[in-house]
Amino acid sequence: MAVTAEAGNIGWKGIDAILPGVDGNDHQLSAHCGPGGLVIAFICNHCPYVKGQIERMVADAAFLDAHGVGFVAINSNDATAYPEDSFENMKLFAREHRMRFPYLYDEDQSVARAYGAVCTPDIFGFDADMRLQYRGRLDASRHRDAPADLRRDLVEAMIEIARTGKGPAEQIPSIGCSIKWKNPQ
């Protein structure tokens, strides 16, 4: 079932956390914030929306890194009910898609709950002070292949944030599969 993320609470201070990564290290979210900001993307392995966008997400993360913007992805899905989203399968997914950014596991789902994440992908763009400036989509493709001339919403927003400290006035929410909660609230 497709879920749409709500508009972001612009200016909200991102919550810091330390989560295990598929690289075997623990990662503090704030440590990945660059001088241009940080993208935190809630994703998973099995969602068709993520699968349809992951190659562009990996490319966009590399592009943004060159502009001083850090990038991390977090999987918060219930791996007991959705074994494809297990930590071991996250390692395979990251390797298969050549993810050069940290892919982190939020096993107790506390980070997703703190951020108010609702879907995969659910993308949060922060300025250099970890203040939310963007909560929107990667691009308009949803889970389909994208034409080469597709507007890159996230990239454009984060370049603006890196340059001015502010996100775009118009932000189109992300849509994707619902986060698979262990104990839905």
Domain span holding position 31: 2-178
pLDDT tens profile 29-81: 999 999 999 999 999 999 999 999 999 999 999 999 999 999 999 999 999 99
Element spanning 19, H or E: strand 18-20
pLDDT tens profile 143-169: 666 666 678 999 999 999 999 999 999
- Round to the nearest angstrom and report the end-to-end CA distance of the chain: 17
Domains of the chain: total = 1
pLDDT computed for residue 26 by the predictor: 98
Residue 185 in any domain: the answer is no
CATH assignment at residue 61: 3.40.30.10
With b for 16 or more beta-carbon neighbours within 10 A and e for fewer, the 45-84 pattern comes to bbbebbbbbbebbbebbebbbebebbbbbbbbbbbeebee
Residue 117 in any domain: the answer is yes
pLDDT computed for residue 3 by the predictor: 63
Residue 183 in any domain: the answer is no
Residue 173 in any domain: the answer is yes
Residue 184 in any domain: the answer is no
Residue 161 in any domain: the answer is yes
Closest CA relative to residue 156, chosen from 142, 177, 170: 170
